[in-house]
Structures are given as structure tokens and as C-alpha cells.
């Protein structure tokens, strides 16, 4: 893998429309593509147009996906600019999502954790990846 690789995070959900306020309105991601009844699956992809990552959420007709298996299933966004970090946290709040206590207290020191309608969590980390 290298910097030119695109990352797709794909996971099932029981309610695609319930995820949109969190990922689109709260995180500010764009709906890149949506499909219905593709071999029994409906789906939506969200990300930044042309960006190196995106999320794909699918619903298999006739199958229950359920909730996240633990509170430590995380996606972490590193926001090194403090003003951008504050704006991102405030956008989540305006969209109706309050921070939750992180299962691992490490993430509460310099970040805020938010839980989506399926129980999966996203951390907005104030700082840059040290790697």
C-alpha cells in the first residue's frame, strides 16, 4: 500500500437513511453514490469527492445487520488545525449528535467521540497523526 491507495470502509446497516444525518450532516461528507437492489443490496457511499477514502454502507434485503459489537469499533479523523477541529465538533452538535465517553479514555484527552445510529463510533482527534 502507498499514498496513492484509496481506502473504502464498508459495513452493513439496517437503516441507511438513519446514517445520513451523522455522516453527511454531522461529519460533512458528501453522498458520492447510492444504489438500490444491486444483487439484493442497497447502499450509499460517502466521502470527500476525489479523496483517498470513503465509507460504504449496505443493507442486504432480508438480513439483519445489528449494532456494533463493541464500543471500541472506531474510525479516527485527525484534525491538526484547532479551529477546524472545533468546527467539526460543533457541526456534529448542530446535527444533533453529542459526544459520548470513549471506551478507551485515551481518545477523550485530545478528542471527542461520537456514536452513529448503529453504535459505531467516530473520533474527531485534535492533533495530527504522529507517524
DSSP labels, 56-91: EEEEETT----S-SSTT-EEEEEE-SHHHHHHHHHH
For the chain, what is the domain count? 2
Domain boundary among 60, 86, 104: 60
The pTM of this model reads 0.94
Q: Is residue 66 part of a domain?
A: no
Residue 101 backbone dihedrals phi, psi, to 5 degrees:
-65, 135
CATH number at residue 113: 3.10.180.10
Question: Does the residue 65 lie in any domain?
Answer: no
Bridge partners of 70, per DSSP, are none
Residue 2 pLDDT class (50, 70, 90 cuts): confident
> What's the domain range around 91?
74-126
The rounded distance, in Å, linking the Cα atoms of 29 and 52 is 13
The residue among 34, 60, 86 that closes a domain is: 60
Rounded to whole angstroms, the Cα distance separating 22 from 28 reads 9
54 and 11 in one domain? yes
Q: Say whether both 23 and 54 belong to one domain.
A: yes
Q: Judge whether 41 lies within some domain.
A: yes
Contacts of 105 (CB under 8 A, 6+ apart): none
pLDDT tens by residue, 72-105: 999 999 999 999 999 999 999 999 999 999 999 9
Same domain, residue pair 86 and 53: no
* Same domain assignment for residues 79 and 49: no
Amino acid at each position: 500500500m502507498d499514498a496513492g491507495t484509496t481506502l473504502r470502509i464498508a459495513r452493513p446497516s439496517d437503516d441507511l437513511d438513519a446514517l445520513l444525518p451523522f455522516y453527511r450532516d454531522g461529519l460533512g461528507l458528501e453522498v458520492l453514490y447510492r444504489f438500490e437492489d444491486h444483487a439484493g443490496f442497497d447502499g450509499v457511499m460517502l466521502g470527500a469527492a476525489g479523496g483517498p477514502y470513503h465509507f460504504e454502507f449496505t443493507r442486504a434485503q432480508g438480513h439483519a445487520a445489528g449494532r456494533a459489537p463493541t464500543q471500541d469499533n472506531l474510525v479516527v479523523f485527525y484534525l491538526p488545525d484547532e479551529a477546524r477541529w472545533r468546527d467539526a465538533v460543533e457541526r456534529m452538535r448542530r446535527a444533533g449528535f453529542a459526544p459520548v465517553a470513549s471506551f478507551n479514555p485515551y481518545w477523550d484527552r485530545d478528542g471527542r467521540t461520537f456514536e452513529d445510529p448503529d453504535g459505531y463510533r467516530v473520533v474527531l482527534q485534535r492533533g495530527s497523526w504522529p507517524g
